[in-house]
Amino acid sequence: MTIRIPFVDLNSQHQPIQTQLQKAIYGVLEQGDFILGQALADFEVAFATASGAAYGVGVASGTDAIALGLQACNIGANDEVILPANTFIATLIGVLRAGAKPVLVDCDPQTALIDLEAATKAITPQTKAIIPVHLYGQMVSPQKLLDFANTYQLLIFEDAAQAHLAERDGYRAGSVGIAAAFSFYPSKNLGAFGDGGMLLTRDPDVAQKMARLRNYGASQKYFHTESGTNSRLDTLQAAVLLEKLPYLPQWNCDRLTIAQQYDSELAPLSSAGIISMQNQSSTGHVYHLYVIRVDDSCPLERQQIQDKLTADGIQTGIHYPIPCHLQPAFTYLGYQQGDFPQAEKLAKQILSLPMYPGLSNSQIKEVVAAIAGATSTNLNAENSSSVPIGSTVA
């Protein structure tokens, strides 16, 4: 099947700056500082500054940013950490790798963000932190988070893997809690040419401990004060990210414009059960993903719509099809079907549409037209089949 509209198109992003990217890579090759080099130090400062944080520590992946970051915040054995059930599995794995106990809660069906009321009911004397996942590019309300954390004396550890430079309530993603984890997976709003991650923090002690943990627990060469690991953001990747960072605000703006057109084009389909996820952040939503819900009132199931788009050469995704508590590897945590009804319902309804800087107006219209065509064809078929033989329709 020929792909006419890809889910993500990195070439359209990289081609205009190809010369700059090549120059950045060659600069590292000439310098030869491939591990913990100058480009990494420069990028750590630049990304932290852009995000409103004091310190940045680059690591090998977003998952490591969570796992090591929690350890750097002194979260571990016997500590409970609250997180949403409808996040990417890396959030859960990061908590487990830190040695803490993950406590899952449900989400808001309109935004897919963590339900703080549900989180309130999950607090115990062992609860030490909450991980708000800034899902799809939209932040959990910082003001509500801060009120929540202050009320229950909890640490806020942000999972901002999908929210580079997102804003809400006067805060940027990465500046709300004690620390925040970011991923630079290639398809992220700010993506590397491979895996990569970073921890941002306002606390110098957390930053220093994180720097040790990523480098075998060493405070200086061959002197190990912690049981750390090898998880360093490569200098080559940092050089690429540093070159791309100045373009990120415009790329995010382009994503917002695309999302606004999707919103407008899809609005007439709400009566057919095609519902866009709510944007409660105005221009602060950076739309890593554009997600719709195929509601129960839709004449087609989600899979039928996805199959129709695939047949038309339009790629889509599902983020995420199985909530964390229903993943086979984590049944030992004791959760069951029905524990988080909103997350489970969303998993059956959500569909991610093509989203990337460079997606054209005509392509957006084509995606929406394919969805509209599928739903209207089915509606017409149902209406026709409901008319008794021999009758007429006015």
Neighbour-count burial for 303-338, b at 16+ CB within 10 Å, e otherwise: eebbebbeebebbbbbbbeebbbbeeebeeeebeee
Contacts of 23 (CB under 8 A, 6+ apart): 243
Active-site option among 23, 121, 128, 188: 188
d(CA 367, CA 372) in angstroms, rounded, equals 9
User: How far apart are the C-alpha atoms of 254 and 387, rounded to whole Å?
Assistant: 47
Contact at 8 Å (CB) between 211 and 232?
A: no
Q: Which residues contact 210 (CB under 8 A, 6 or more apart)?
A: 57, 59, 68, 69, 72, 199, 201
Are the beta carbons of 325 and 87 closer than 8 angstroms?
no
Catalytic site includes residue 101? no
Of residues 379, 352, 374, 354, the one with CA closest to residue 364 = 354
What type of residue is 22?
Answer: Q
Nearest to 239 by CA among 385, 8, 38, 48: 38
Strand-strand pairing, 218-220 and 171-172: unpaired
* 136 contacts: CB under 8 Å, gap ≥ 6: 112, 162, 277, 287, 288, 289, 290, 291, 319
> Residue 20: enclosing H or E segment and its boundaries?
helix 18-31
Residue with tokens 């990304």: 47
List the beta bridge partners of residue 101. 80
C-beta separation of 143 from 167 below 8 A: no
Rounded CA-CA distance 367/344 in Å is 26
User: How far, in Å, CA of 185 to CA of 339, rounded?
Assistant: 31
Positions annotated as catalytic residues are 188
